[in-house]
Amino acid sequence: MKITVGIVDYGIGNQSSVQHVLGSVGFRCRISDDPGVLDGCDLLVLPGVGAFRPAMEALRARALDRYLGDWAANGRPLMGICLGMQLLANVSYENGVEPGLSLIPGEVRSMGTGRWHIGWNTIECATDDPLFAPSDGQTFFFNHSYVYDGPPEFEVARAQVGGPVASAIRRGAIVGMQFHPEKSQTAGRALLQRLVTGLCGA
């Protein structure tokens, strides 16, 4: 049976590009903010572009923060992309202090005044996680100025940006990627296909 991926629509993100790439590697996709629709999916993707606080406000306005918490508590797979990865953390210090979804322990901090990580960069696996190991040494597209800072046990890959920064994190069936796999051509498509299939136990 074909895996169905739910793409969480909270008004902030690149849902259509994520849908296009996931569809191209064989998955059925549904873009929605309706729990009734999302409940019928095998895995959820939380995309995101922009700032942390407006994103959390948009999730709370739709009660999606509580929904995603319940989804994760039930052990169902969830992937966060770029800002979506940062939203998985406990708190962000972008433009003040803003609580996150608290699904993977950690904080989101600035890379430094005026610093921005944009463009192609190689990721290095920090563990032997079988879902990420084939991507070790491959290049992916990044575009961010804030980074996840959390316990090393949750970091599965990093990139070098004047020092190591977390490029992928994982806690059980919850995965976050700071880079954009949907914009990373062949390497990104292969990783998404492997993650969705692996997290869904297919």
Active site residue 182: yes
CA 105 remoteness from chain centre = 14
CB atoms within 10 A of CB 74: 8
Query: Residue 54: CB partners within 8 Å, gap ≥ 6?
Result: 12
Query: In terms of Cα–Cα distance, which of 37, 22, 69 is closest to 195?
Result: 22
Which one is catalytic: 94, 98, 155, 182? 182
Contact in structure between 104 and 150 (CB atoms under 8 Å): yes
Which one is catalytic: 41, 94, 155, 180? 180
Active site residue 20: no
C-alpha angle with apex 104: 98 to 110, nearest 5 degrees?
45
Which one is catalytic: 41, 82, 94, 117? 82
Active site residue 144: no
Active site residues: 82, 180, 182
